[in-house]
Structure 1
Amino acid sequence: MVIVPVRGIEQSKAGLPRGTHRMTVGVEEEFLIVDRDTGIPVARGPRVLDAAVPVLGEQAQTEFFGAQVEVCTRPTPSLSALRAELALLRKVMGEAAAGEGCLLVATGTPAVPPGRPLTVTPGERYERMAARWPALTGGYDGMVCGCHIHVGVTGHAQALALANHMRPWLPTLQAIAANSPFSLGRDSGWASHRSVEYARWPGVGPAPLLDEAGYERLADHLVRSGTLLDRRMIYWHARPSEHVPTLEIRVCDVNADLDVVVLLTALVRGLATSLMPDIGNGQPPPNLRDPRLHAAHALAARRGLTGEGLDPARGEYVPALVMAERLLERAVPGLAATGDLDLAEELFDRVRRSGGGAARQRAAHLRRGRLTDVVSELARTTAAA
C-alpha cells in the first residue's frame, strides 16, 4: 500500500490554512472466511483470493491463516472516497467468498471456533513465523483480525513524533473499535478478545517514546537478538511503516459496520492534525507511566465503551464514553481543518447509541443464544457497506 501526504494545499481549495499539510489516509482490513452454513472458519482464503485478485490486484492480499484475507485501500485525502473504496473492496471480496460457499465476516475473533487446528497460509515468511512460535499458531485461538489505519507523513521522524504524542489516546480508540467478545465458542468476557490473543505475539504493545535514531537502534536490536523475525514484526500500537511514508495505528479490531471504520479513520487523522502544532512548537510528548498505560489498554479491551475507562495521562477512572468524548474534543481542530467535523460527530453519535461492535454482537447472541446468529449478523453488516 502506498500512502503519501498531499502537501501545500491552498486554503481556497481544501479549507486548510495556507501551507499546512493535509494527511492522506488509508486502511487495511482483515476478514475471516467462514462456511456459509456453519459459520466455522475454513481455510479457503487462497481460493477466495484467486477469484478476487483479477479485479482487485494487489489490494487483495493473503493473511497469516488460510481462513483469512486482507484488503488495502489506496491513499486518499477524502473520507468519502475512502468509504466508497472500502465498500467496493468488501463487495468484491464478499462475492469471491460466496463463490466458494463462504461468507466474508469482519470481527476481531471468530465467534464459532474452527473445527480443526488452524492452517497457516503457505509462504516462506509465514512458515518461518509458525516454526519459531508454534504455541501461537497450533491451536484454535490464534486467529485475529484487525483494522490498521494509516496517515501520510513526511518520514520516520514525523511518524515517531506523532506516535509519541498520540499514546494517551490510543486506549480510547481501542475501546471504540472493540468488536470481538466471542472466542472459542463462548463469551470471553472481553469487548476486544482480539487484544488479548494478539498480545501473545512478541512486538505487540504500546510504542516506546523514541526519536528516529532511537528507533533505528531498537529496531536493529530486536531483529539481531532474535526477539523478532524482522522489522515487519514491530507490532506496536502505533508504528512508522517500513515501506511507505505513514504512521500506522494497529490497535483497532476490524468492524463489520463500515461507518465505524470511517469514524476511527477520521479520529486518527483529526487527532494527528490537532497534535501537529504541539510537535512543531517543540512541546514534549506526555511522559506516561508504563503500568498506567498498559492498564488503560487492558481496561479498554475488557470494557469497550461500557463501564469505566482509565485516562492514562490524568490517572483517573471515568466512564469510557467520557473518554471517547474527550478524544473527539481533542480531535476537533483537526477535524474542522479537514472538513470532517460534522461527519465525525454524526458517526460518533451513532456509535454512542449502539454501544459499539461488541455490544451489537452480544445483542445478536442474546436473541436466541446462538453463535450462528452472531456470525449471520456480522456477515450481513459486512456486506451492507
Structure 2
Amino acid sequence: MATTTVPTKPRRDEIPTLGVEEEFVLVDPHTGRPSLSNTDVIASGRELGITLQPELSRCQIETATSIGTHIRDLRDQLCESRAVTADAAARTGCQLLAVGTPMYSPPHDSITDTPRHRRIAEQFGALATGVMCGCHVHVGVPGREQAIQIINHLRPWLPTLLALTANSPIADGCDTGYASWRYILFGHWPSAGPPPYFDSAAHYDAALAKMLESGAILDNRMVFWDVRAADHPPTVEVRISDVPATIEETMTLTTLVHALVITAADAIERGTPAPTVDHEALRGACWRAARDGLSGHGFDLTTMGLVPAPRLIYQLLTHVKPVLVELGECGQVTGSLAAVLEHGNGAIRQRRTLARHGRVADVIAECARRTFEGCLTEPDDALPL
C-alpha cells in the first residue's frame, strides 16, 4: 500500500540563520543638515567596541548583526548597535537618524574617500550623490540554486514589505509626495528594482555577467535588486525596505522575511512553483507601495487591482502565519503589525509631525528619538490584530 509523504516543518536545528544590516543618516543636531562625519563616527564606535561600516556618502553609516539562528537573538544586538552608534555619533558632534533619506541634501562632494566609492562616483556621476538608507535582511540557504528559487517565490511580496517600512517622505525640506522617496531615488540605478524571474542560478549569473559587461555594475556587490542572492555565506538578501523608524519595526520586518523564506523553502520542497508575476506589474506595485506606503492603496498582484494597503499586510500575515506559529513569533508579529497599522509607520509619523508643527526640525527631533526607542526597555505587550 502506497504511503503519502507529508512535508515536515523545519526542526529547530534546521531553522535558517539570520543577519541584519541597517543604514543610518548622520546629521548636525543644530541644523538637521547632513554631517559628513562617518569616518569620525567609525573611529568613535571602535573605541566603544562596535564595528561600523562607511557607505557611499560621508553622512551615512552602517551597522550589522552577527549571523544568528534565532530571531530573538537579534533584538539585543539591534538595540545595542543602535544605542552605541547613537552614542558614537553624539561624541563626534552629530546625531543618528533612522530615516530612508536625509531631509536636506548633503553638499555636492560628499562621497566617502575610498577607492571603490570614488570609482562608483566616477562611473555613475550624479547618481552617486543620492543618500539612501535601507535595511537588508539576510536569511541562510543551503546553496545558490535554492536561493534563486526562493527569490522567485518572494517577488510578489516585495511591495508589501516596502509599504510596511516606508520611512522617507521628506527631502530638501519638503514632502515629496512619496512615502518612500528612497525607493524612487534607488530606482535610478541601472541594477535596482525587483529582479526578473530566473529559471536557474545559471540564468541569474548570466544576467549579472551582462550587467558587468555593459558597465551597469562594477562588481556583484552593486546588484541593487530588491532581493538578491549573496554568496559568503550563501543567503537570500531582502533589501527593498527603508531602514525602519524603530527597533520594533526592524524586528517585525526581519521576522516576516525569515518566515517568507521558510515558507518558500517548504513550497519548493513540495514542488509548488513560484507564482508567475508579470515583471511590469511588479514594478508598478513597487512604485505604488513607494507612493502610498500604508496610508493609501496597494496594487494586488493576484487581482491586478488597487486595494487598501492594510489588506495586503493581512494577506502577507496569512501567508506566513503557519511558520510564525511554529517559530513562536505569531503573537509578537501580529501585535507589532497592529500597532503600526493603528499608529503609523515612519512615513506616516513624519508627515503627522510636520503637519502638526510645520517645521522639519521637529520631524528630525522626533526621528532621532524614535531611532533608539525601545533600545533600553522591553517592547509593549502585543496588541491583538
TM-score, L = length of structure 1: 0.92
> Could you tell me how far apart the structure 2 residues matched to 1:54 and 1:73 are?
18
Q: In the TM superposition, what is the alpha-carbon distance from 1:335 to its structure 2 partner?
A: 0.9
1:89 aligns with 2:81: yes
Is the 2:192–2:226 contact (alpha carbons within 8 Å) kept by the matching residues of 1?
yes
More off after superposition, 79-88 vs 124-133: 79-88
> Could you tell me how far apart the structure 2 residues matched to 1:340 and 1:103 are?
33
**Structure 2 counterpart of 1:159, one-letter code:** A
1:312 aligns with 2:305: no
Helix, strand or coil at the partner of 1:137: helix
> Could you tell me how far apart the structure 1 residues matched to 2:10 and 2:125 are?
52
Map of 1:181 onto structure 2: 169
Question: Is the alpha carbon distance of 1:98 and 1:270 closer, same or farther for their aligned partners in structure 2, counting shifts above 3 Å?
Answer: same
Map of 1:125 onto structure 2: 116
1:109 aligns with 2:96: no
Map of 2:125 onto structure 1: 134
Map of 2:190 onto structure 1: 202
> Could you tell me how far apart the structure 1 residues matched to 2:344 and 2:91 are?
34
Helix, strand or coil at the partner of 2:14: coil
Q: In the TM superposition, what is the alpha-carbon distance from 1:20 to its structure 2 partner?
A: 7.3
1:213 aligns with 2:206: no
Cα deviation, 1:146-181, whole Å, max 9, x if unaligned, reads 011111111211211111001111100100010000
1:323 aligns with 2:323: no
Which of 164, 187, 208 aligns to 2:152? It is 164
Is the 2:26–2:89 contact (alpha carbons within 8 Å) kept by the matching residues of 1?
yes
Map of 1:283 onto structure 2: 272
Map of 1:335 onto structure 2: 324
Is the 1:16–1:338 contact (alpha carbons within 8 Å) kept by the matching residues of 2?
no
Runs (5+) with no aligned partner, structure 1: 1-14
Q: Percent identity?
A: 38
Question: After superposition, where does 1:247-266 map in structure 2 within 5 Å?
Answer: 247-266=236-255
Map of 2:62 onto structure 1: 70
Q: In the TM superposition, what is the alpha-carbon distance from 1:356 to its structure 2 partner?
A: 1.1
Map of 1:296 onto structure 2: 285
> Could you tell me how far apart the structure 2 residues matched to 1:118 and 1:110 are?
16
Cα deviation, 1:318-351, whole Å, max 9, x if unaligned, reads 1100001100110101111211111111111111
Question: Is the alpha carbon distance of 1:273 and 1:44 closer, same or farther for their aligned partners in structure 2, counting shifts above 3 Å?
Answer: same
Map of 1:8 onto structure 2: none
Cα deviation, 1:97-149, whole Å, max 9, x if unaligned, reads 101111100000112333x32411011111100001112135xxx11100111
Helix, strand or coil at the partner of 1:119: coil
Cα deviation, 1:246-291, whole Å, max 9, x if unaligned, reads 1000100012211010000111111221222211122221111122
Map of 1:10 onto structure 2: none
> Could you tell me how far apart the structure 1 residues matched to 2:48 and 2:41 are?
12
> Could you tell me how far apart the structure 2 residues matched to 1:236 and 1:373 are?
34
**Structure 2 counterpart of 1:333, one-letter code:** P
Map of 2:19 onto structure 1: 26
**Structure 2 counterpart of 1:24, one-letter code:** T
Is the 1:156–1:245 contact (alpha carbons within 8 Å) kept by the matching residues of 2?
yes
**Structure 1 counterpart of 2:121, one-letter code:** A
**Structure 2 counterpart of 1:227, one-letter code:** A
> Could you tell me how far apart the structure 2 residues matched to 1:18 and 1:51 are?
41
> Could you tell me how far apart the structure 2 residues matched to 1:332 and 1:312 are?
20
Which of 336, 341, 358 aligns to 1:347? It is 336
Helix, strand or coil at the partner of 1:162: helix
More off after superposition, 95-104 vs 281-290: 281-290
Is the 1:33–1:69 contact (alpha carbons within 8 Å) kept by the matching residues of 2?
yes
> Stretches of 4+ moved more than 3 A in 1?
15-20, 54-57
Cα deviation, 1:225-245, whole Å, max 9, x if unaligned, reads 322111111111110113221
Helix, strand or coil at the partner of 2:53: strand
CA RMSD in angstroms comes to 1.6
More off after superposition, 320-329 vs 219-228: 219-228
Map of 1:7 onto structure 2: none
**Structure 2 counterpart of 1:38, one-letter code:** T
More off after superposition, 184-193 vs 45-54: 45-54
> Could you tell me how far apart the structure 2 residues matched to 1:275 and 1:165 are?
6
**Structure 1 counterpart of 2:277, one-letter code:** L
Helix, strand or coil at the partner of 2:19: strand
Helix, strand or coil at the partner of 1:107: coil
Q: How many residues were matched structurally? A: 366
Q: In the TM superposition, what is the alpha-carbon distance from 1:78 to its structure 2 partner?
A: 2.4
Is the 1:232–1:242 contact (alpha carbons within 8 Å) kept by the matching residues of 2?
no
1:378 aligns with 2:339: no
Is the 2:99–2:244 contact (alpha carbons within 8 Å) kept by the matching residues of 1?
yes
